[in-house]
Each structure stands twice: as C-alpha cells, then as structure tokens.
Amino acid sequence: MKKFLAVLLTVCLVASMAAFSLAEGKKTPSIAIVVAGSLGDRSFYDSANSGVEQLAADFGTETKVIECKEDASLYLSSLLEAAESCDIIAAVGWQFFDSLGEASEAFPNKKFIFIDNAFDEIPENMMCICYKQNEGSFLAGYIAAKLSKTGKIGAVGGEDADTINDFLVGYEAGAAYANPDIIVERQYAGDYEDPAKGKECALALYSSGCDIVFQVAGKTGEGVFEAAKETGNLAIGVDGDQKYIDPEHIICSMVKRVGKSIYDVVSDPDTYFKGGTVWSANMETGYIDVTYGEEGMTQQISDEIKAEVENIRQQIISGAIIVPTTLD
Amino acid sequence: MDWSTVFSMSTLVNTVNTATIVVLAGLGCLLTDQVGIMSIGIDGMMTAGAFAAVMGSWLCGSWLMGIVFALAAGLLFGLFYAVFVVRFKSDEFIIGVAMNIFAVALTTFMLRSIPGQTGSFHPATGTVTKLPAFTLTLPGGTPVTLSLMVPLSWLLVAVCWVMMYRTPLGYWLHASGEHPESLRSVGRSPERMRYLGSLLCGLLCGLSGAYLSLGYLSTFTENMSASRGYVAVACVIFGRSNPLYVFLAALLFGFIDTAGQRMQGVVDPTLTATFPYIGTILMMVLLAARTAIRKRRA
C-alpha cells in the first residue's frame, strides 16, 4: 500500500510538472547579466538591464542582475556566481577581458556572451558581441559639426580605452566629413561613476569654445548634461536615447542597443547564439543608430540635416563610407 | 586645447566651485581633529548628506528643506560616530571606515526603497530644486555663476577660525584633544567637547554633501562623494588643522585637479590623471621637510 501511494504520488508529480511546462509555452533559458559598473547610468548598463526586463515581461524568463560597481576584484566571483544559477551569462563591459575566459572554462556547459569586447580565440561556449559604435558616432559627429556655431566641438570619454576611443574616432571622422575645418577636443574623465568629474570636463570644453559635447562616459556623463544646461550649450547622449533627460540641451543620442541584442540572443538562442564567433552588431541590423527623442520634444536639428544624416547612414550601410575604428 | 585654457578664469572659477566640497568637509574634519579624533568617516557623512539633501528637496519641493535634511543626516552620523568613539572608545579608524562603507550601502538601499530607483536619482514626478545661485560679472566682463554655498563656506571658514582661536569654546575643544585632564581640572567634561566636535563635523559634512548633490549638481548617484572626503582629510593634515590653511590647501588641491584635467590637450591624459596624487605626495614631502627643518632649528 505504501509503495502504491509512493508510485501514485510520483506519477502525479511528474504529470503536474509536464503540464506546467506545457502551459508555459515557449520557454527561454535563464539569463544573468553581470555589469562591470552599476545600474542607473541611463545609458550602457541600463540598456542591458532593459533587455533583461523585457525578457522577463515577455517570456517570464528567470533573470538575475549582478553589479560589480567598478570593483575589478568582483568580476570573476560575480561571473561564477551567475554561472551557477543561470543558463546564459552576459558579461556587460569590456573590463571582463581578464576574468571571462576563466569563468567560461569553469562552466563548459553554460553559454557566455561577452558584450563590447572579444578574445582572439573564443571558446565554443562563448560568443562576443561587438558594436559598431564608430558608425553611429560618425553620424553624431556629423550632426555636431553641422550645428556648431563656433567651429569647435568636444567629447568627454570615460577613460582612454579602445572601446571608448572607438566612439571618439568615429565622432571625429564624422565631424571632419561635415566640415574639414572643425576642431574636435577630447577630455577623459577617468571615471564612469562620478558626475561631478563629468561636469568639470564638460565645463573645460565649453569654456575653451566648444558648443556641443558628446558624452561617452556612462554615469559620469550626467555631469556633462548638467554643464550644458548651466552654460546654455548643447550635448549629445550615448547608448540609450537620452534626449528626454533634458530636451532643451540634448540634441540627439548615439544609441547602442545592448538590451535588444541580449534579448534577441536569449529569446532565440538557436538563431543567434553561435559559439566561438564574434557578432558584429552594426547600423545595418539596427543595433546602432542615432535618435532624436520622442515626438513633441524640442528639436535643434533641422529636417534637412536629418535627411543628410539618413543619406550618410545608407552610405555607411552600403559600404560607400568606411568609418575608422580603434578595434580589430 | 592649449595652455590658455589651462590657466584661464574658467579654471579658477571651477577650482573654487569644486574646492567648496572639500572646504566644508575639511572644516568638519579639523574640528574632530581638534578634539583628538581623526575623522576618517567624513566621506560617509558626505554621502549621507548628499542623499538626504536630494530627498529633502524632492519630497518638500524646497532647497531649504534639502539643507535641513542634509544637516539632520550629518548630525545623525556625527552622533553615531561619537557614541562609538567617545562613549564606547572604539577604534576611530575602524569605525570611520565602517561608516564610509555603511553610508554608501545605506543610501543605495534607501534610493532603491524610497523612490524605487537604481544607481542614480531621476524622479518621474516632481523636481529636485537646486540651491540658489547668483551671477557676478568680473572686471574682465566674464559672468561667473556661484552657488550660495560657496560664499557661505568662506564665511564658515572665518567663523571656525574665530571660534577656535578667539573664544573659550575653541580652547576647550582643543584641550579635550590635547590634554583632557587639564580640561577636567577646570570642571569641563572632555567627553562633552568630543561629542560637540563630532556633531559639528557631521553638520559640516552634511552641508558639503548637500552642496555636492544640490549645488554643484542636481542629482544623487551611488557613492557620489567619490572619495573626496579623503582629500579633505589630507587637506586637514596639510593645513595643520588651521581653518585658513585648510581652506588654502583645499583650493590648491582643487586647482591641481582642475588644471590637470584641462592639461589633457597638451599632456598625455594618462599622465594628467596622476597629477592630484603627485600633488598630494609633493605637498606631504614639503610638509615633512618643513617640520624637520623647524625641529633642527629648535
């Protein structure tokens, strides 16, 4: 009798589990994102987080977010922690270069996504997503040069690193394409989490005669917007569509849809997850773009310039314009 | 960018503006130094002040309430520090470091629970009212915008100096750190003076945080003091706890930082990032050298 009950209960349990998984319909693997900095930058990391939130909303995906808050000693342990509980682990930030290889070796059966950087030899359980930020920054530079009244524009970078410089060379090339005489100044804040530093950098640029500043510095960039507002100058947002933050002073944003790329890989791994390869998320596929905020917001950019930008966009996609890069 | 932008009016104005954060915190730190406590915990007090200021301004819609909130937060942290260090005689460094970590964690937690936001504060409804600012026109014709807190910090430097060197209270504070027994012999309690020093430090650091989040910027982000409290501690050591010298030291640090930042156009950016630290080391060497020379003469 006892045995019979046990069997019966087991059957019930298995049946209910099967029924449960059938009722859920399409099931995605669970995803953990490990971000090198911290959320709340309304830019790069928040973009990644929005992709994960969308997955949870659309498919009920199990998600996990771990923030390393720029603490390099947490990179490896956070990746390992994420890999223990989730199927796919996205390392968001080029900073994971030293620790991701070790983590992927420790968990050969899990899938790893490296956002914003690539290895020379990529293991089979990892894919790298590199974004063509130089293409979008080219458009941002073009717009800035067209709108500048002083003939001088600036950019604030988080630090002097390849990925950040990839934005900056694209920006400079775009500016020179619009106006060969344009002067482009750079400032590096040396920090992604210090808006006061960002404001200092932007004030330095504005006081030297720049009238438009492109921020590529995450949370530090909040200070750039603050400086633009205080001095009555203009700024360009990055990674997310940041125009809403201050529509009067932010003219456009160079968006890098990190969230969308994570969403695509996790919701359809069979199509998108190709282990051992680098996926180049570019302008053609829509992961890189320039946006002008939502309808009803003040527009500083005329429709003619927007049309020119669209034209250049097509030329970049077709390969007629080759944008310089600091990567590969 | 060239040398003319490095040494310009705008560099000076920005030096004064950013130095104000350090000046206010430095004043707080030197008061605890007077009562014989090295207050390493001021960075945490600033973080708490910065958060409370933004919350106050946002919840009540007035910058004045922001200041009140920041002062209250500073006072609480100052009390917390005093209770552990004066009452329970714990190690001031350990409590200070613990307080710095605690303040970052607490403000992060409260940011996520009160307005429900992660990382930085951007209200969907309501606005953050900044501290009032006024615009001066300099002789050269350049308009300069200063926050109200900037001249207030200068006033506080003067008040602090007068209090320390021209009032009995200043001497009592000093005696409680230097020679508590002598203070006790005239019927004053050194413990009470230490409490006072720590509470005043909390108030000033609260103001410093409020200026950072509501005066210089208009938002709160996690860990936004970014170790500026430690710079203030360095200024206090360098300025030998004299409000005037601490003020000058803060300006000097501010200038090295701002000018160094702006030298990026002419010098390699990886090198300019080291300027503040090289400046600190140089100043400490100078200080040590001067002390050594004085000792030899004496």
pTM above 0.90, yes or no: no
Question: How far lies B88's CA from each of A82, B81, B82, B83, B85, in Å?
Answer: 41, 10, 9, 6, 6
pLDDT-based confidence at A145, cuts 50/70/90?
A: very high
**How buried is residue A255: exposed, middle or buried, by Cβ count under 10 Å (0-12/13-18/19+)?**
buried
CB within 8 Å: A41 and B119: yes
H or E element that contains A91: strand A88-92
Q: Which of A162, A172, A185, A23 is nearest to A97 (CA)?
A: A162
Domain ranges of chain A: 25-131+258-281, 133-256+298-318
Identify residues of A whose CB sits under 8 angstroms from chain B CBs: 38-42, 45-46, 69, 160, 185-188, 190-191, 193-197, 199-201, 203-205, 207-208, 219, 222-223, 226, 230, 245
Tokens 């403000």 -> residue:
B107
The full DSSP string for A157-189 is: ESSS-HHHHHHHHHHHHHHHHH-TT-EEEEEE-
Residue A11 has pLDDT above 80, yes or no: no
Give me chain A's average pLDDT, please. 91
HEC secondary structure over chain B: CCHHHHCCHHHHHHHHHHHHHHHHHHHHHHHHHHCCCCCCCHHHHHHHHHHHHHHHHHHHCCHHHHHHHHHHHHHHHHHHHHHHHHHCCCCHHHHHHHHHHHHHHHHHHHHHHCCCCCCECCCCCCCCCCCCEEEEECCCCCEEEEECHHHHHHHHHHHHHHHHHHCHHHHHHHHHHHCHHHHHHCCCCHHHHHHHHHHHHHHHHHHHHHHHHHHHCCCCECCCCCCHHHHHHHHHHHCCCCHHHHHHHHHHHHHHHHHHHHHHHCCCHHHHCCHHHHHHHHHHHHHHHHHHHHHHHC
The CATH superfamily assigned to A25-131+258-281 is Response regulator (3.40.50.2300)
* Residue B283 confidence (pLDDT): 81
C-alpha to C-alpha distance for A62 and B42, rounded to whole angstroms? 41
* Residue B296 confidence (pLDDT): 85
Question: Is B292:B273 a contact under the CB 8 Å cutoff?
Answer: no
Work out the average pLDDT over A280-291.
Answer: 93
C-alpha to C-alpha distance for A70 and A38, rounded to whole angstroms? 7
C-alpha to C-alpha distance for A61 and A266, rounded to whole angstroms? 9
C-alpha to C-alpha distance for A217 and A195, rounded to whole angstroms? 9
Tokens for B143, please give them.
């308009």
CA of A6 to nearest chain B CA: how many angstroms apart?
Answer: 46
Q: Which of B148, B197, B266 is nearest to B28 (CA)?
A: B197
Query: How confident is the model over A311-327, as pLDDT tens digits?
Result: 999 999 999 999 999 98
Query: How confident is the model over A229-241, as pLDDT tens digits?
Result: 999 999 999 999 9
Residues of B in contact with A68 (CB under 8 A): none
Instruction: Tell me the Cα Rg of chain A.
Output: 22
Nearest residue of chain B to residue A204 (CA atoms): B262
Residue A23 has pLDDT above 50, yes or no: no
Max Cα–Cα distance, chain A, nearest Å: 92
Q: Minimum mean pLDDT among A146-155, A270-279, B242-251: which range? A: A270-279
CB within 8 Å: B120 and A190: no
SS3 A38: coil
Q: Which of B151, B155, B50, B27 is nearest to B107 (CA)?
A: B50
* Residue B59 confidence (pLDDT): 94
DSSP β-ladder status, A234-239 and A278-281: unpaired
DSSP β-ladder status, A250-256 and A234-239: parallel
C-alpha to C-alpha distance for B73 and B57, rounded to whole angstroms? 14
Say yes or no: ipTM exceeds 0.90: no
Q: Which of B19, B13, B93, B6 is nearest to B248 (CA)?
A: B19
Residue A187 has pLDDT above 90, yes or no: yes
Best residue of A53, A66, A168, A193 to probe chain B, by most B CBs closer than 10 Å: A193
* Residue B93 confidence (pLDDT): 92
C-alpha to C-alpha distance for B164 and B240, rounded to whole angstroms? 13
Residue A4 has pLDDT above 80, yes or no: no
CB within 8 Å: B223 and A200: no
Percent of chain A with pLDDT over 90: 83
Instruction: Tell me the Cα Rg of chain B.
Output: 20
Nearest residue of chain A to residue B147 (CA atoms): A230
Residue partners of A270: CB distance under 8 A and separation at least 6: none
CB within 8 Å: A203 and B10: yes
C-alpha to C-alpha distance for B174 and A13, rounded to whole angstroms? 75
Question: Is B31:B194 a contact under the CB 8 Å cutoff?
Answer: no
pLDDT-based confidence at A22, cuts 50/70/90?
A: very low
Residues of A in contact with B217 (CB under 8 A): 195-196, 199, 222-223, 226
Q: What CATH number was assigned to the domain covering residues A133-256+298-318? A: 3.40.50.2300
Bridge-partner residues for A216, per DSSP?
A: A157
pLDDT-based confidence at A201, cuts 50/70/90?
A: very high
Question: Is A196:B224 a contact under the CB 8 Å cutoff?
Answer: yes
Residue A1 has pLDDT above 80, yes or no: no
C-alpha to C-alpha distance for A172 and A138, rounded to whole angstroms? 7
* Residue B1 confidence (pLDDT): 65
Residues of B in contact with A210 (CB under 8 A): none
Neighbours of A146 (CB within 10 A): 19
Sites in chain B below the pLDDT cut of 70: 1
Bridge-partner residues for A128, per DSSP?
A: A114, A278
